Amino acid sequence: MKITLLGIVALGLVAVGCSTTHLPKGARLVGGGLKVSYEAPTDGTAILIERTSGRIVATESLQEGRDFEFGPNQSGCSAVIFSMFAATNAQDTGEFAQVPTNTVFELYFVPDPAKKE
């Protein structure tokens, strides 16, 4: 699983917060929790948000049948999680930041519009 640079940039741009009303039209809630796994039924975009803060955590374009994976033990995910919660849980020892108990990750999927042939 690859966290896109766009997702990290989006996280920085929306640091002041957003709500699910700012999701693209057609976005469907398809998963959630601290560890998220989803297989795209069609081409589209996965958008992971942290519901409590409203921040976008990651976005990824997916082709039909491809997986979106996010969790504390996934490659690249721990750095994203640490950057989100380091202000309250920073450790100089380089340890992984603990996720606050009110953290709720939600995964939305936006199918690509039908392609004209």
- 44-75: pLDDT as tens digits: 999 999 888 888 888 999 999 999 998 777 76
Distance CA 35, CA 72 (A): 7
Distance CA 55, CA 12 (A): 9
Concatenating the DSSP letter of every residue in 3-57 gives: --HHHHHHHHHTTT---GGGSPTT-EEEEESSSEEEE-SSSEEEEEEETTTTEEE
Q: Does residue 4 have a pLDDT over 50?
A: yes
Instruction: Provide the 10 A C-beta neighbour count for residue 115.
Output: 6
Of residues 41, 47, 48, the one with CA closest to residue 63 = 41
Q: Kindly report whether the global pTM for this prediction surpasses the value 0.75.
A: no
Domain-by-domain residue ranges, the chain?
5-111
Question: Could you give the count of Cα atoms lying within 13 Å of 7 in the half-sphere of its Cβ?
Answer: 25
Q: Are the beta carbons of 116 and 47 closer than 8 angstroms? A: no
Residue 109: per-residue pLDDT: 97
Low-confidence winner among 6-10, 40-44, 58-62, 73-77 (lowest mean pLDDT):
6-10
3-state class of 109 per DSSP? Answer: strand
Q: Are the beta carbons of 63 and 43 closer than 8 angstroms? A: yes
